Chains A and B, each alone.
Chain A
Amino acid sequence: MKYLVIIQADNSPELLERLLRVCRHRGFLVQKMNAETTENEKSLHVTLTVCSERPVSLLSKQLEKIFGITQVAALGQEKAIKASA
């Protein structure tokens, strides 16, 4: 499955490494990537196209835990199948 993941983060020198490490380790292959800083280098906006056999929620929930990442949106995400808080 192919997914589009959009990430907003407070920028830091190693943020892209953190992001890409989690993608690789959790089993998602990056096919396309765009990253740019905004607001005087203070924040970072990243768009990733990734593919994996695994559901994208496994990735997005891990990305949300990275300190510095403020927002994660994933397209192609499977529908929520249950109520959760």
Chain B
Amino acid sequence: MNGAHFIVQALKQKNISQVFGYPGGAIMPLYDALYDGGLDHLLCRHEQGAAMAAIGYARATGKVGVCIATSGPGATNLITGLADALLDSIPIVAITGQVSSNLIGTDAFQEVDVLGLSLACTKHSFMVQSPEQLGPIIEQAFMIARSGRPGPVLIDIPKDIQLAEMPELSSLQVLATKNKLRFPINASLIRQVRETIKLASKPLLYVGGGVGMANATQELRNFIQYTYIPSVCTLKGIGVIAHDSEYFMGMVGMHGSKAANFAIQECDLLIAVGARFDDRVTGKLDEFASNAKVIHLDIDAAEIDKLRLADLAITDNLKEVLPAIEVETFISAWQKRILTMKKEFANRYDHPGEAIYAPAMLRQLAEMKPADTVICSDVGQHQMWVAQHMFVDRPENHISSSGLGTMGFGIPAAVGAQVARPDDTVIVVSGDGSFMMNVQELGTIKRKKLPIKILLIDNQRLGMVRQWQKLFFDGRYSETILTDNPDFVTLASAFDIPGETIVIKSQLQGALTRLLESKGAYLLHVSISEEENVWPLVPPGAANDQMMESLQ
């Protein structure tokens, strides 16, 4: 057995059944081992697509995603995917080939210092320096990717090590990692948290992606059911709280709901759960929930006090913390206020004229979609409309590049999600800008015959940038006009993906039905007006209650 076969066996032993990748010179021994190694490998058409498919796979299942690339350009193409996984704390393991050990540092063909490149965009990274290290490093890589706050891990493997003779893999040597001592949750801290919640008259839950990743969605729902504390969520927290939960106000922040943003400014106690006070959430930080005490619950101690000082903080597992802080509340006046705001500021879907109104279309699609549908989104205006107007059953069903905001994320993420969950419907909502950024992955959809439903919202603009140019740059539309877009339906047909274009409201019902009922992949291309903007919008540098709601 050589190193490459060893890697395949080790992956299988880690219960990995699916990998995404792209072959090349320095990774050829591994691809030879994959040829009949018993792992499912999906060829993506760009390494960035492979990394994002691994992310989609991981996010749709909670398992570790694995992607593979060759040295040099293969590895550099993975970088954006790794950075995306780092900012959204997604567990993926990336394996890259490297030139042979004796060539490292000689500027060999397709040689680049991948370990050096990886430092700023992975949770951790390894370069294997001897065959003996291979087993322990693979073991450690998966442990690091999954543990604590999850994240991407890269293993760079020189070609000679892939070819080196290895002992048979009996069972992976469990590495002598210094196990962190586990302390019981600090009881007096729990008592203080309970007391603080009980005394608050206007408490508010601010729920982030950490809840889903801690597998604590049920615990959080139980906490809400017990305490009836009103709640808001972040982009990554969508799906954690049931969308029809009585005192839930949706997303908070730059494009958050009015009710959510006002509630944040009015609350006297903010309970941040698996959230990190990102600038897109807080707006002007000094004025964010400025009357509130803060309880911060997050597994990553480095998030505590990073942007907002917490009055109380707990960094233990949310699954254990949340049940321990359930406490009776007496907040009926606050609850009434929330209900009033929810009613007053409810989304409106009436829209004049024949032109298709994207928010209403997305709402309609959300209501029509089968249960447990996965929605993948690209990045831009459509992404915010998805967040504001669609809804999902659980956080694994809303896959959106949140921290890094990576255009081109949607299609490859949907590939990963559909491969992971072949029996569930996967919809990708994209824009005409984002769609073109990883359009080659239509080839991957064709290759694997994935029944992905693509909803392409086309305003012939880089819409979000255009919106900012309109609002903050005197309408100087620098490089955001895409009236020379390709014919998207023809483009998709080149990949055997059928589709249609619609332009008016009366075509919607039929077209959405055809999209959802299509046996295979389908492209629904929707033309909308370039004048549509995402509202509300908290302008840069403003506090969250200073929302713009129209061009006036």
Contact = CB atoms under 8 A, between A and B. Distances in A.
A80 B314 CA distance: 15
A82 interface: yes
Interface stretch (A28-36, A38-46, A54-62): A54-62
Contacts of A67: 124, 144
B306 interface: yes
Contacts of B313: 82, 84-85
**Which residue among A18, A64, A84 has the maximum number of chain B CB atoms within 10 Å of its CB?**
A84
Given A21-B120, A58-B305, A67-B144, 12 more contacts: A14-B116, A14-B127, A21-B119, A57-B305, A61-B302, A65-B300, A83-B189, A84-B189, A84-B310, A84-B312, A84-B314, A85-B313
A17 interface: yes
Contact of B192 (A62, A65, A83): A83
Contacts of A25: 120
B513 to A, nearest CB: 49
Contacts of B316: 85
8 closest pairs, A vs B, by CB?
A: A61-B302, A84-B313, A67-B124, A85-B186, A85-B314, A62-B302, A21-B119, A85-B189
Given A14-B119, A18-B119, A82 B311 contact: yes
B304 interface: yes
Contacts of A57: 305
Contacts of B119: 14, 17-18, 21
Interface in A70-85: 70, 81-85
B315 interface: yes
A64 B315 CA distance: 14
Given A17-B119, A82-B309, A82-B313, A61 B301 contact: yes
Interface string A1-37: 0000000000000100110010001000000000000
A84 B315 CA distance: 8
A61 B313 CA distance: 14
Nearest to B306: A58
A65 to B, nearest CB: 6
**Which residue among A14, A18, A62, A64 has the maximum number of chain B CB atoms within 10 Å of its CB?**
A14
Nearest to A21: B119
B116 A17 contact: yes
B355 interface: no
A82 B192 CA distance: 12
Nearest to B120: A21
B116 A85 contact: no
B200 interface: no
A70 B178 CA distance: 10
Contacts of B314: 84-85
B310 A82 contact: yes
Interface string B175-210: 000100000011011001000000000000000000
25 contacts: A14-B119, A17-B116, A21-B119, A21-B120, A25-B120, A57-B305, A58-B306, A61-B301, A61-B306, A64-B302, A67-B144, A70-B178, A81-B309, A82-B309, A82-B311, A82-B313, A83-B188, A83-B312, A84-B189, A84-B304, A84-B310, A84-B313, A85-B185, A85-B313, A85-B314
Contacts of A21: 119-120
B116 to A, nearest CB: 7
A38 to B, nearest CB: 18
Interface size class of B (residues with CB under 8 A): 20 to 34
Nearest to B149: A65
A57 B301 CA distance: 10
Interface in B303-337: 304-306, 309-316
Contacts of A61: 301-302, 304, 306
Contacts of B436: none
Contacts of A83: 186, 188-189, 192, 312
B360 interface: no
B511 interface: no
Nearest to B140: A67
A81 to B, nearest CB: 7
A64 B149 CA distance: 13
A82 B302 contact: no
B115 interface: yes
B312 A82 contact: yes
B271 to A, nearest CB: 15
A31 B235 CA distance: 40
Contacts of B188: 83
Contacts of A81: 309
Interface string B282-305: 000000000000000000111011
A82 to B, nearest CB: 6
Nearest to B151: A65
A85 B144 CA distance: 22
**Which residue among A18, A21, A57, A65 has the maximum number of chain B CB atoms within 10 Å of its CB?**
A65
Interface in B56-103: none
A18 B124 CA distance: 10
Contacts of B120: 21, 25
Contacts of A18: 119
Nearest to A55: B305
Nearest to B124: A67
Contacts of B115: 14
B256 to A, nearest CB: 27
Contacts of A82: 309-313
A25 B115 CA distance: 18
A17 B125 CA distance: 12
A73 B485 CA distance: 56
Nearest to B313: A84
B323 to A, nearest CB: 16
A8 to B, nearest CB: 12
Interface in B141-177: 144
